[in-house]
Amino acid sequence: MLSSVDCRKIVVLGNPSVGKTSVIQRYVHNQFKGSYSATLGFNIYTRYITIGEKKVGLSIWDVGGQEAFKKFAFRYLVEADAAIFVADVSRPESIDDLSVWNERLDQISNRKIPKIILFNKIDLEHNVDEISDRLNQLDIRRMFNGIVFASAKTGKNVIDIFSMIAKMLTGWNESFGVPQKQKINFNGALADAQLPIVFFFSDDCTWCKPALDNISSLSNEFPLTIRVVNINTDEKLAKEYGIQSLPTTIIGSKTIVGDLDTKIIRAIMADEYVRLITE
């Protein structure tokens, strides 16, 4: 007998050519082609994913060019359960437009849904400084729940985007607040208004060490409680948090996948710390 599966709608937004179709193709078919003809109208892809004991259907919506978007915006955005905002790291100006895409989404669907920023094409040369400056200027960064640095071309970190969303959708309560699993409350961190951080690494992840150093270096600016989790020895915890790629860092209610630039972490910590002491 077929048991009913919870199906959720994920919309993918961003300027033309940032790699929306490529990221979806990488995730759904594990393939990368040099070119996809501009999507006409919109395509819907479905994939099933198991989180804990729960099977969730992800229906991923990919819209074509601006013309198609204008025509279908309402159908495309209405009743979205989660949104992925894609920017191209080799064209940092595509980051600025994420605000515009967010406004469009909010005009049609104004409930609170998980929002993930995806910085795509990290296989190409990019200026980390410029990316963090642009991101930090965006007011909307406060509303995002996760940031993933990925490449549709190499496949790096692509799976994280979708498993992160699926986890948020299954773990978040109806009213939608901080995901249950991410209410990290250890060592009295919340009681003392310490910002809780969980950093996942593994024995062989040599590139994780600089990222951890970056985070730790900020402990003289913010009261932080950092929990460092080795996924080799703490498999259970890694599974509970659905860790796919390293390093993964949870700062308050935000998850960041990929190498962390100090400026970005500092901005996120500031947002999350304010949230912690005002909520």
Ligand X SMILES: Nc1nc2c(ncn2[C@@H]2O[C@H](COP(=O)(O)OP(=O)(O)O)[C@@H](O)[C@H]2O)c(=O)[nH]1
Q: Which stretch binds ligand X (CB under 6 A): 102-110, 116-124, 178-186, 196-204?
A: 116-124
Please select the residue that binds ligand X; options are 18, 95, 147, 208, rule is CB under 6 A: 18
For ligand X, the closer of residues 32 and 222 by Cβ is: 32
Work out how close the CB of 67 gets to Mg ion at its nearest, in angstroms, rounded to a whole number.
Answer: 13
Nearer to ligand X by Cβ, of 152 and 224: the residue is: 152
Binding mask 147-176 for ligand X (x = CB under 6 A): ----xxx-----------------------
Q: DSSP labels for 38-103?
A: PPPSEEEEEEEEEETTEEEEEEEEEE-SHHHHHHHHHHHHTT-SEEEEEEETTSTHHHHTHHHHHH
Q: Which residues from 206-235 bind ligand X, rule CB under 6 A?
A: none
- Nearest distance, CB of residue 120 and Mg ion, angstroms: 12
Q: Which of 10, 22, 49, 102 binds ligand X (CB under 6 A)?
A: 22
- Taking the least distance from each CB to ligand X, the nearer of 5 and 124 is 124
Q: Which is nearer to ligand X, 22 or 145 (CB)?
A: 22
Q: Which stretch binds ligand X (CB under 6 A): 30-38, 178-186, 257-265, 270-278?
A: 30-38
Among 9, 20, 141, 167, binds ligand X (CB under 6 A): 20
Burial of 90 (0-12, 13-18, 19+ CB in 10 A): middle
- Answer with the entry of Mg ion, ligand X, none that 16 interacts with (C-beta below 5 to 8 A by kind): ligand X
What number of other Cβ atoms are within 10 A of residue 9's Cβ?
A: 20
**Contacts within 8 Å (CB) and 24+ apart, 267-274:** 267/132, 267/135, 267/136, 267/141, 268/141, 268/147, 269/195, 269/218, 269/221, 269/222, 269/224, 270/222, 271/141, 271/142, 272/195, 273/193, 273/195, 273/222, 273/223
276: nearest Cα among 252, 255, 240, 257: 252
Residue 210 preceded by cis peptide, ω within 30: no
Type and span of the H or E element at 242: none
Q: Based on the shown chain and the rule CB under 6 A, indicate whether residue 72 belongs to the binding site for ligand X.
A: no
21 binds Mg ion (CB under 5 A): yes
Residues that bind ligand X (CB under 6 A): 14, 16-22, 34-36, 120-121, 123-124, 151-153
Residues that bind Mg ion (CB under 5 A): 21, 39
